[in-house]
Amino acid sequence: MRIKTTLLSTTLASLLFATASLAAQEATPDGRQHAAGECRGGKGGKEGKMFHKLARMEHRLDRAVEKGRLTQAQADQFKAEARQLRDEAQAQRQSSGGQLTDAQREQLRQRKQALREKVKAAMKATAPQGV
């Protein structure tokens, strides 16, 4: 009976230690290997927010394609522009140590607004008439 208990407790302890060490090995050191558009939580508040916003925009564009308000080519073009804008903002933020100047912030804001206006105009052109 004591041998069984000892063997069981030893096995359980080794499994607990093995699980913890395997989990530590799988984690990436900088946490940069995520799928495009995947929302990230934790410390990267601004990055997580940007990824979440991009994912929402992609979802809205996909719904617009399903409803026939945009073509797939238009949606793909808008998604690519949004990703490029997000990547440029992220690169600027990383190169300047996490802070953007007011001029950079304003330029990014204007570019985002221009992209939104393009999407609205494209969807308005194909909107059903007589609602």
Q: Tokens representing 128? A: 């059903």
Predicted structure pTM score: 0.57
List pLDDT tens digits, range 55-100.
888 898 999 899 888 899 999 999 999 999 989 988 988 888 888 8
- What value, to the nearest 5°, has the Cα angle with vertex 67 and ends 63 and 69? 95
Q: Is 22 among the domain residues?
A: no
Q: Is 88 among the domain residues?
A: yes
With a CB cutoff of 8 Å and minimum separation 6, the contacts of 116 are none
Q: Is 11 among the domain residues?
A: no
Give me the number of domains the chain comprises. Answer: 1
Domain that holds residue 111: 47-126
Q: Is 10 among the domain residues?
A: no
Rounded CA gap, 17 and 30, in Å? 24
Q: Is 65 among the domain residues?
A: yes
Q: Tokens representing 13? A: 């302890």
* Residue whose C-alpha is closest to residue 70's, from 7, 111, 118: 118
List pLDDT tens digits, range 7-65.
778 776 777 666 666 565 554 444 445 554 444 444 456 666 767 888 888 898 999 89
Rounded CA gap, 30 and 54, in Å? 21
Q: Is 34 among the domain residues?
A: no
Q: Is 9 among the domain residues?
A: no
